[in-house]
Amino acid sequence: MPTWTHTPVLLHEAVNALVTDASGCYVDATFGRGGHARLILERLATDGRVLAFDKDPQARAAATRIRDARFSIRQQSFTGLAQLPAGSVAGILMDLGVSSPQIDDPERGFSFLADGPLDMRMDPTRGISAAQWLATATQAEMAGVIHEYGEERFARAIAKAIVSRREAGRPVASTRDLAGLVAGVVKTREPGKNPATRTFQAIRIFINAELEELGAALEASLEVLQPGGRLVVISFHSLEDRIVKRFILRHSRAQVDRRAPFAEPAPLPLRALGRVRAGPDELARNPRARSAIMRVAERTAQPLAPEQRAC
My answer on whether 81 and 27 are in the same domain is yes
Residue spans of alpha helices (H) in 225-260: 238-252
Question: Is pLDDT of 2 > 70?
Answer: no
My answer on whether 50 and 25 are in the same domain is yes
CATH number at residue 232: 3.40.50.150
- Give the C-alpha distances (Å, rounded to integers) separating 244 from 57, 91, 124, 143, 223: 26, 16, 27, 25, 16
Q: What is the length of the chain? A: 311
- Domain boundary among the residues 188, 207, 226 is at 207
My answer on whether 96 and 215 are in the same domain is yes
Is the model's pTM score more than 0.85? yes
Domain that holds residue 59: 11-100+211-299
CATH number at residue 152: 1.10.150.170
Encode pLDDT of 246-286 as tens digits. 999 999 987 655 665 655 566 789 999 999 999 999 999 98
Lowest mean pLDDT among 94-108, 113-127, 166-180: 94-108
pLDDT of residue 1: 42
Cβ distance 88 to 25 under 8 Å?
A: yes
How much of the chain is helix, strand and coil, in % rounded to 5?
40, 15, 40
- Give the C-alpha distances (Å, rounded to integers) separating 135 from 61, 161, 201, 290: 31, 13, 18, 34
- Domain boundary among the residues 179, 207, 235 is at 207
Number of domains the chain is built from: 2
